[in-house]
């Protein structure tokens, strides 16, 4: 097995290679002065299994393009298989046409990955697990939320899980079962006119004396999490922390969360993120590679 770490592997490539006892090389990449990428992955892995680790956080399109280029370079070396391990795969939230004529970006990305030579796909915490079924090769989701909650639970004495919207409630229920604690969700609605999101049905619970964990698959601009944190304090929470597999932290998310009283942010190393506690998901990704091959 030969493993290639892309420029956005956030150090995971080498760790996965070690866990799998695979040869490892960092891809050689450069950006020309005009902005074009050059990518090189010289594995000499004829007949072997090639694994490419590349996360696709911002700039998403450039990190995706690097993945396409590396996969196609790998494909020319006649490998037995090409497995892309993507700690964070961008565009998965765009999983349907929300209005006529809209590109279903998640499908496009999965198709382009397959076209560029990827035969197997491992993705950590896809926004919806079933979206991966659109990939034309084999795919496996890795769900590091369990390890994440293990880690979070060690730091909290009286946790209570709050899903910031209905979509993340199943996720919260699993975590609550794992931690043997309560959980609820905030039911919201998005105004079609303004795009503003407001609370529709607030849960009845009070959180007095509880350490509330706002749990989601990702924190992007932090708006949703901040809103939930304020709600939790308004219902008596003694502390509020946030946990998510993917800490995108775009815009001024960190500031927003701090202002909302979020004391700590827990996540994974699916992408680099400052001032957060991140668990390493390399071993879980390595297991998935083992089972997909």
Catalytic (active-site) positions: 188
Closer to a copy of itself by Cβ: residue 182 or 223: 223
256: DSSP letter: H
Among positions 14, 48, 77, 233, the unique one binding a copy of itself when judged by CB under 8 A:
77
Look at strands 187-190 and 197-201 and give their pairing. antiparallel
Asked if 64 is part of the footprint of a copy of itself (rule: CB under 8 A), the reply reads yes
Alpha-carbon distances of 181 from 94, 149, 161, 167, rounded to whole Å: 32, 12, 7, 20
Task: Compute the least distance from the CB of residue 218 to a copy of itself, in Å.
Answer: 9
Asked if 94 is part of the footprint of a copy of itself (rule: CB under 8 A), the reply reads yes
Task: Compute the least distance from the CB of residue 223 to a copy of itself, in Å.
Answer: 9
CA–CA gap between residue 208 and residue 155 (Å, rounded):
18
- Region binding a copy of itself by CB under 8 A among candidate stretches 146-154, 202-210, 248-256, 284-292: 248-256
Asked if 99 is part of the footprint of a copy of itself (rule: CB under 8 A), the reply reads yes
Please, what's the b/e burial string for 96-109 (b: 16 or more CB within 10 A of its CB; e: otherwise)?
Answer: eeeeeeeebbbbeb
In the shown chain, the binding pattern of residues 37 to 56 toward a copy of itself, with x for contact by CB under 8 A and - for none, equals xxxxxxxx------------
Instruction: List the one residue out of 219, 44, 66 whose CA is nearest residue 148.
Output: 219
Alpha-carbon distances of 144 from 84, 149, 217, rounded to whole Å: 17, 9, 10
**Which positions lie near a copy of itself, rule CB under 8 A?**
32-44, 58-62, 64-65, 68-70, 72-73, 76-77, 90-91, 93-94, 97, 99-105, 107-108, 111-112, 115-116, 220-221, 248, 250-251
């Amino acid at each position: 097995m030969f493993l290639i770490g892309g420029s956005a592997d956030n150090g995971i490539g080498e760790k996965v290679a070690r866990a799998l006892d695979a040869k490892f090389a960092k891809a050689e990449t450069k950006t020309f002065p005009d902005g074009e990428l050059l990518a090189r992955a010289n594995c000499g892995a004829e007949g072997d299994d090639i694994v490419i680790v590349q996360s696709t956080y911002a700039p998403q399109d450039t990190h995706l393009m690097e993945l396409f280029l590396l996969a196609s370079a790998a494909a020319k070396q006649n490998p037995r298989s090409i497995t892309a391990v993507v700690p964070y795969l961008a565009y998965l939230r765009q999983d349907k046409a929300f209005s006529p004529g809209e590109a279903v970006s998640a499908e496009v990305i999965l198709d382009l990955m397959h076209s560029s030579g990827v035969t197997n796909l491992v993705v950590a915490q896809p926004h919806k697990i079933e979206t991966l079924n659109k990939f034309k090769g084999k795919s496996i989701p890795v769900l590091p939320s369990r390890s994440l909650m293990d880690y979070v639970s060690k730091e909290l004495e009286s946790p209570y899980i709050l899903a910031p919207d209905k979509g993340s409630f199943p996720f919260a229920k699993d975590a609550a079962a794992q931690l043997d604690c309560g959980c609820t969700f905030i039911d919201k609605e998005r105004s079609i006119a303004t795009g503003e999101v407001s609370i529709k049905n607030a849960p009845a619970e009070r959180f007095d004396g509880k350490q509330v964990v706002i749990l989601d698959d990702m924190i992007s601009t932090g708006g949703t999490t901040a809103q939930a944190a304020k709600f939790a304090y308004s219902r008596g929470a003694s502390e509020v922390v946030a946990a998510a597999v993917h800490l995108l932290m775009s815009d001024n998310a960190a500031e927003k969360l701090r202002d909302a009283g979020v004391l700590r942010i827990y996540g994974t190393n699916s992408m680099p993120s400052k001032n957060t506690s991140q668990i390493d998901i390399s071993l879980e990704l390595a297991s998935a590679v083992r089972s997909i091959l």
